[in-house]
Structure 1
Amino acid sequence: MFLLISYLWSIDMLILEKHPLGLAYGRFYSATVGGSRIDKNMLKTDIIHHLDRCGLSLDDVKIDYNKGYTPLGALLRFPSKAAFTTAIRQTNQNRLYRIDEISRDVWDLKESFDGKAVLLQGVPRNALLDDIERFLCGTNFESPPLENFLRPGVPEPIRMVVVKFHTKTDAMNAIITKNRSFCLNNQVSMRILQ
């Protein structure tokens, strides 16, 4: 019986792939007071497991970051309107999260880092490109340009750098080997961007 159901489900998925008109898009975020964002350590797999009856894959989830790379929510692509309705029912049951409908344009315009980018936080403001490359020595990062920006902080702004890697494994290895290491006597923390 289980094999028959899974076979029928896979046939339905193939039909939906050929007819993308049935796709639905949503924004997933926290429903807590003052929320409207998700936890910075939430993974795509956490969202997929939370919405386990919707048939989502890793490619159907994009994390929505603001300019300072704080996750605001997750953009979701559902295989059908029925799956979107199921997701709304699932989130209404536990009341921790909410889902709002969005247009396909919002989905298409959002970049997905897909776990191949790392955010360095606390890079010294006087660090040059060579200093950052020396800090990343031994990792398989893509050659510059690196994205640099300042985030407001107390007592002074915090310099952040986005580094892209060739694969997810390379990014995770960099986190394992370099997180909380020092660049010009400043401790640098690292976080994967999904």
Structure 2
Amino acid sequence: MSKMSLLGTAIRSNCFARNSKLNQGFPSLLGDSPRRFSTEPQQPQDSPPDPFLQTPSTGLVYGKLSGINKHTLKTDIVNLLEGCNLTLNDVKVDYNWNYMPMAMMVQFRSRSAFDNAFKLIARKGRLYKLERADRAKWDILTAYDGKTVLLQGIPRNAIPEDIERFLSGCDFDASSIQTITKTAFPDPIRLAVVHFPSQTQAMNAFITKNKGFCLNNQILMRVLQ
């Protein structure tokens, strides 16, 4: 082979080697695994399942029932949701700072009982609205169970002994008297809650003492559920 032929072969080999290295470098600029184009639409990833839908049929389920007023009783709710196997212990009242009932928390024995409550409300209790609630909300609510009485209009200068004299003749726990002062316009509101041994004793105090006077103030009373 002539020298010119050998020189041409060497030049062509050198160019081929350099082109090969350049071609191998392009994927590293675009990523180790270049994307392949496809005309098929990408399938969306499945969203995580709703935890509520995974509630065991035998597990406790909690609901918040709104649309109640200050005259709504726990017995009203138990009767409304007849067939859901509720007792009075399965219902708690959610009061605001002024002890006005805002909603009721209901404890259902199963998911099927919760679903049944939805159907009952749609059929005969459309003034109410039932929604899923967290157990933590249920746990922090106090169950007064009709044994606690709220006294509204307590004089600002009244002391516990004045409240005891107002409730004289009633069977109550004097150590349970708790006074609460709330900021309001034009004057602060002073409340007191008193615990009684039974629902009967609490109702008796309401009947005999409601709208009576403590010092110079008329006292309005309400039994808390």
- TM-score normalised per structure 1: 0.81
Counting aligned pairs with the same residue, the percent is 47
Tell me which of 99, 109, 132 is aligned to 2:130.
99
| Equivalent position SS for 2:153 | strand
Tell me which of 191, 212, 223 is aligned to 1:181.
212
What's the counterpart of residue 76 of structure 1?
106
| Equivalent position SS for 2:92 | strand
Tell me which of 26, 39, 44 is aligned to 2:63.
26
In the alignment, the residues of structure 1 paired with residue 176 and residue 86 of structure 2 have an alpha-carbon distance, to the nearest angstrom, of 33
Tell me which of 155, 158, 176 is aligned to 2:189.
158
Matched, 1:120 2:147: no
Contact 2:57/2:112 (<8 A) preserved? no
What's the counterpart of residue 167 of structure 1?
198
Structure 2 residue runs of 5 or longer lacking an equivalent are 1-55
Displacement after TM superposition at 1:118 (Å)? 0.4
What's the counterpart of residue 177 of structure 2?
146
What's the counterpart of residue 72 of structure 2?
42
In the alignment, the residues of structure 1 paired with residue 186 and residue 218 of structure 2 have an alpha-carbon distance, to the nearest angstrom, of 16
Contact 2:94/2:101 (<8 A) preserved? yes
Matched, 1:53 2:83: yes
Displacement after TM superposition at 1:104 (Å)? 2.0
In the alignment, the residues of structure 1 paired with residue 82 and residue 171 of structure 2 have an alpha-carbon distance, to the nearest angstrom, of 34
What's the counterpart of residue 37 of structure 2?
none
In the alignment, the residues of structure 1 paired with residue 122 and residue 58 of structure 2 have an alpha-carbon distance, to the nearest angstrom, of 26
| Equivalent position SS for 1:166 | coil
| Equivalent position SS for 2:171 | coil
In the alignment, the residues of structure 2 paired with residue 20 and residue 105 of structure 1 have an alpha-carbon distance, to the nearest angstrom, of 20
Displacement after TM superposition at 1:61 (Å)? 0.5
TM-aligned CA distance change 1:180 to 1:191, over 3 Å: same
In the alignment, the residues of structure 2 paired with residue 21 and residue 95 of structure 1 have an alpha-carbon distance, to the nearest angstrom, of 27
Displacement after TM superposition at 1:144 (Å)? 2.0
Displacement after TM superposition at 1:103 (Å)? 2.0
| Equivalent position SS for 1:155 | coil
- State the aligned residue count: 169
In the alignment, the residues of structure 2 paired with residue 170 and residue 145 of structure 1 have an alpha-carbon distance, to the nearest angstrom, of 15
Paired letter, 1:188: I
In the alignment, the residues of structure 1 paired with residue 190 and residue 138 of structure 2 have an alpha-carbon distance, to the nearest angstrom, of 29
Displacement after TM superposition at 1:190 (Å)? 0.3
More strand by share: 1
